Amino acid sequence: MAMMQSSKYAAYPVVDISDRTWPDKRITRAPVWCSIDLRDGNQALPVPMSVQEKIEMFKLLIGIGFKEIEVGFPSASAVEFQFVRTLIEENLIPDDVTIQVLTQAREHLIRRTFESLEGANRAIVHLYNSTSTVQRDVVFRKNRQEIKEIAIRGTALVRELREAFGNKGIRFQYSPESFTGTELEYALEVCQAVMETWGASADEKVIVNLPSTVEMSTPNIFADRIEWFCRNLSDRDAAIISVHTHNDRGTAVASAELAMMAGADRVEGALFGNGERCGNLDIITMALNMYTQGVDSRLDFSNLTHLTEVYRECTRMPVHPRHPYAGELVHTAFSGSHQDAINKGMKARTESENEVWCVPYLPIDPKDVGFSYKAIVRINSQSGKGGVAYVMEKEFGYSLPKWLQPDFGLVVQAIVDREGRELSPEEIRDLFSREYVRLERPYLLKKCHISWEDEDPDRNDEVATTITSALQEGEREFGFTARGNGPVDAFVTGFIHDSGIDFIVSEYSEHAIGHGADTQAIAYVKITLPDGTVSYGAGIDSNISLASIKAVMSAVNRLDTQAKK
């Protein structure tokens, strides 16, 4: 096998910042969020969104709570230009939302960008030019001073056009594109020149956006770069430091989180991380990471199911079933040990007065993001008795006693092993009914009458219950009348006498299922024969005594079923 040649790659340079402070910081507040779904996300789509699809996405982003939204690159195409005009002319931009438009630092593109903003009350003009070493040397073939001059001239023109527009609602953002591929000192030099050209101040801040256009280092080094930049910027109060992380190394979220700890004020990203190559920062993940730490992200992701549907329709992109928080399987456990822990954790939460969420394997309450508890536990060949019991209780109200759970778990396991697939909750319920409830052979209970003759109701051991039953075994019909200290005791006494099958009821449990007029009782029993053989049964009836007797009959009939197996 051919070996990969790692020697063709060089390690990313570290930052000389021995007294870094970001490792001791915590994220305690939300950044200024800027959605780039309609620009960076859109340009990465195999089929870019139409104007109508972009409008639908724009409305979704507003509903989530974004106050800054990059809506496009209006000088790049007629569709991009028309979309910006549609937003403005049809008054689709709320008063508290600022649109952002991107432009290269080229005169005709900047002028066209301003034409698209005619009539906008609030907007950010986002100017960029690439400053990286490889772009300077290979793409533009310009030296440091020439590249810096491009940024300065572009900034001066944006300032001039804003003054000509007389619109103080237009703000300015500058990005040294490929910041991660740019010498740190040089990136600072260019951004400093841009701020001076603009006349940045504490009253009129420039957004300095530092993009990892290509993610090239571990998140800690990116954080070092952000902290170094913030420290060395001559007028830090005149800048809003923004980050725009990509996911080439799979750590865009971590890089943005550490950048915030290092001093960043603002974060750009997209829903589900949609973007070039491996994508941008996923704002959903980062915002919900904050939420699970008790920090208000100021974004509303309480209905991820709806959000996912709109995203898929507008972008034609799938959402991975294991995507953090939003994937259809991320709140689901198939593993038996996980299911058992979740089952116990959910019960403990119901019984506890502690409001802090703490359930094993569930870092977030699925209901907080629009998922029901229905999908938490699903049953396949990896599942266990705890998961089966959870499904039966949450879906159908059957609270299986612990002594029954292992037996039913084996029944379910045998089916999934044989069929090699997941079982739906309805299939599990039907399997339980078939295995434990609807057993009418070899013994069929045809009639049962219960009467009481309590002389002392306070005595629990009084033989005061009379059972009169009619049964059928094959072609033979028989019946009995027996007495006991309760319906089950009386029935068992009479049945043993007439059938010759000797057993005791060694475990018993009951509860109600349903509500109101539909309420029924379910009883579970375990019977034990003298030789140690055990069998389980369940019975359902509107009368708890009859449910209990039906459960005994099911357990007896199951002895015959088990023997045939």
Do 507 and 408 sit in the same domain of this protein?
Answer: no
Phi/psi for 323 (5° steps) reads -65, 135
Assess contact for 148 and 130: CB atoms under 8 A: no
Q: Which residues pair with 103 in a beta bridge?
A: 127
**Checking DSSP bridges between strand 266-269 and strand 443-452, what pairing results, if any?**
unpaired
E strand or H helix that includes residue 552: helix 544-564
Between CA 357 and CA 365 the distance in angstroms is 7
Do 142 and 104 sit in the same domain of this protein?
Answer: yes
Q: With respect to residue 77, please indicate whether it lies within any of the assigned structural domains.
A: yes
Q: With respect to residue 5, please indicate whether it lies within any of the assigned structural domains.
A: no
Do 354 and 489 sit in the same domain of this protein?
Answer: no
CA distance readout (Å), 181 to 88, 207, 291, 436: 36, 20, 32, 67
Do 274 and 129 sit in the same domain of this protein?
Answer: yes
Of the residues 416, 436, 456, the one at which a domain ends = 436
Q: With respect to residue 321, please indicate whether it lies within any of the assigned structural domains.
A: no
Between CA 43 and CA 57 the distance in angstroms is 14
Do 399 and 537 sit in the same domain of this protein?
Answer: no
Neighbours of 400 (CB within 10 A): 23
How many secondary structure helices (H) and strands (E) does the chain include?
17, 14
Order the strands of the 520-528 sheet from edge to edge.
504-513, 520-528, 534-541
Do 302 and 369 sit in the same domain of this protein?
Answer: no
Do 156 and 303 sit in the same domain of this protein?
Answer: yes
Alpha helical stretches, state H, 202-357: 219-232, 252-261, 283-291, 304-315, 336-351
Assess contact for 231 and 242: CB atoms under 8 A: no
Do 366 and 496 sit in the same domain of this protein?
Answer: no
Residue 446's Cβ-count burial label (10 Å; 0-12, 13-18, 19+) is: exposed
Of the residues 418, 436, 454, the one at which a domain ends = 436
Q: With respect to residue 418, please indicate whether it lies within any of the assigned structural domains.
A: yes
Do 346 and 236 sit in the same domain of this protein?
Answer: no
Q: The domain containing residue 538 runs over which residues?
A: 443-564
Closest among 308, 249, 242 to 278, alpha carbons compared: 249
The per-residue pLDDT for 455 is 54
Q: With respect to residue 163, please indicate whether it lies within any of the assigned structural domains.
A: yes
Phi/psi for 531 (5° steps) reads -85, 5
In the DSSP assignment, the letter for residue 136 is I
Q: With respect to residue 13, please indicate whether it lies within any of the assigned structural domains.
A: no
Do 363 and 452 sit in the same domain of this protein?
Answer: no
- Give the CATH number, domain containing residue 173: 3.20.20.70
Between CA 437 and CA 554 the distance in angstroms is 6
Do 426 and 473 sit in the same domain of this protein?
Answer: no
Between CA 309 and CA 315 the distance in angstroms is 10
Q: With respect to residue 542, please indicate whether it lies within any of the assigned structural domains.
A: yes
Phi/psi for 145 (5° steps) reads -65, -40
Looking at the structure of the chain, the number of domains it has is 3
Q: With respect to residue 426, please indicate whether it lies within any of the assigned structural domains.
A: yes
- Give the CATH number, domain containing residue 519: 3.30.160.270
| Residues contributing to the annotated binding site | 40, 244, 246, 280
Do 197 and 306 sit in the same domain of this protein?
Answer: yes
| Residues contributing to the annotated binding site for Mg(2+) | 40, 244, 246, 280
- Residues in the chain predicted with pLDDT less than 70, given as ranges, are 1-2, 374-375, 377-384, 454-462, 562-565
